Structure 1
């Protein structure tokens, strides 16, 4: 082996890498993106959880307690309710994460040392459960030196055993669908270019829209099969309960499948090779899994990261699937996230059709 020849091959490889702008962008972009995400966006200290209080007492002490609760910064008021039943409705819809019930005999309970406050938690997110328990241990009263520690009960709904599998498995459906379908579809058009199959398509009357839809349809079946496999294994191996309807589960999965496929098609119109398509798909996958609320608490992220996450389809699917599977909600009750996925699909498909040109170059 001659050092000069090895050096010549190395220089050639470096020049080839430098000419590939996508590879250079990935080498610099991926570590930069990871640093920004983990440094700024990922925050395990959950704050500003959406909450509501059902004050059945209506006394000065209960009102002072409510002010103390919101002053902690752990929760923020988002709705006014009158009864515990209204709290549970908001929890099922995902509009709040924590519901607080102050009983009508709050003052008597506080004096007697009995349970004087109940914190109802959306247990479909284990990080919220931990935050609620911390809230219950804070020195609260609003009446001077006395404290309510030991008089606050925490009621976790939907996952009282705090099993991580119950929280992870539903969201894992979305992660798998995002990881596979975006990549598969991103490579679809590029594969046609590399294999020269577009020459045949040029001579056909197939329009850009028809070609795109034809590319998407087979992968819908693939996505539904993946959804079924994860559901069956989740129920069989991890005893994950399905509290909602299967129609709701597959409806939410279908929304994400189509959204991911249209995103993959858009990527395929921007990539020149299958390797570039894979690189771009991975670049999109990284923020999706980190910002969607699947791994890290969404409410702990800064508002900029939350704004970016709202654009990602996985964020809305995680809310949908946990709402249907764990909280027993219907898709109609979760309509904001349904509309978000539909809007994302329409925009991505329109952009993909506009960018695609049925030509060899």
Structure 2
């Protein structure tokens, strides 16, 4: 029996919260399925398309998913995909995903849509793969639900977008396994990209009071952030509004982060005046977020920024995912590739990770880079 698919409305909020509780229990870390005010804002947001599926006989809400877009960057995020446990055999997840992509990618509103997918089983990976999404990498220890879980990053591009990628001359050598995995998975070519040694990390100048202040005032932080960054082109991470501000005693820079205490993760969104100003402070910035409860910290960096990638590598960040043709160049028709760099303060239990076939090269690449970063080289004594 074919379900009815319609846009979500404010009248659906109570039933949507019941749906997300039935699917995820009390640990779902997103406001999309738990916070009525945030849900109302998303339903009214012109850059968000939120669809729900209903039983044609009873009208009961059986599934939900949304795509939240960034018009300037022409990238969207598939989020909140949930199907009621009693209706999982009818293909509702695929139907909703396909309809969302048809109404966004198919109309030219967006150039790509990404999704983070659970790896506790192969099912969620296969759902998005059936709808044209391809794996981009692994986000190890990315979120805390009932336990710490790793997520897979998938994306679907509009026709011709990958052909507009801007070539990158060189990258730090530890990114080589990730590039090879992307070539195998996506059929793109990095054969002309050289791998060279990471560049020296800038030394942090000594200061009488070597401290960071962390300000958690979401309204203030967002207002100040919009004053500093009226456009999204200088953000580390699109589609993430910060709720936390980190500044040193001398006010030499400002780092904006999104801290999710429910999911115990954090994303670095932007740095003012430029990322270079905060580069030498990356270690204390990461420690401050970890102390605040983030067992996982990530940043999205341009593949062409050898200097920033080197800085993050030096502080134990692992390149886990590669998003090709993610964001447009400022002037022109080209698209820049980006890398997801992450660091976790907790032990990674890969025994719980199920990597469907296309995702396996990224798991192998992550393990290889993690081992070379955190394990000492073997020495043979004669």
Give the TM-score normalised by the residue count of structure 1: 0.27
In terms of fraction of residues, the more helix-rich structure is 1
Who wins on radius of gyration, i.e. which is larger?
Answer: 1
In terms of fraction of residues, the more strand-rich structure is 2
